[in-house]
Amino acid sequence: MFYLQPALYLNQTQSLLILALVAIILFGAKRLPDSARALGRSLRIFKSEVKELNKDDKKVDDDGKSAS
């Protein structure tokens, strides 16, 4: 059986802190808010498109046609 070293176990808070530190190192503190804003916009657009597709599929199913 394979066991991980205890040093590899991280709780959620430690993981988030490490992720934040890596993001600051990669993007820099000045670009980080702009990057987060752009990511938020992209996610909002993606969610709205998925919602529209689900609406279209539901409409087609309600009309009695196949969803293909």
Per-residue 3-state assignment (H helix, E strand, C coil) for the chain: CCCCCHHHCCCHHHHHHHHHHHHHHHHCCCCHHHHHHHHHHHHHHHHHHHHHHHHHHHHHHHCCCCCC
Q: Which amino acid is at 63?
A: D
Question: What pLDDT score was predicted for residue 47?
Answer: 96
Residue-wise pLDDT tens digits, 7-65: 556 788 888 899 989 988 988 888 889 988 999 999 999 999 999 998 888 877 777 65
User: Residue 56 corresponds to which amino acid?
Assistant: D
pLDDT of residue 67: 47
pLDDT(2) > 80: no
Q: According to the model, what pLDDT value does residue 65 have?
A: 57
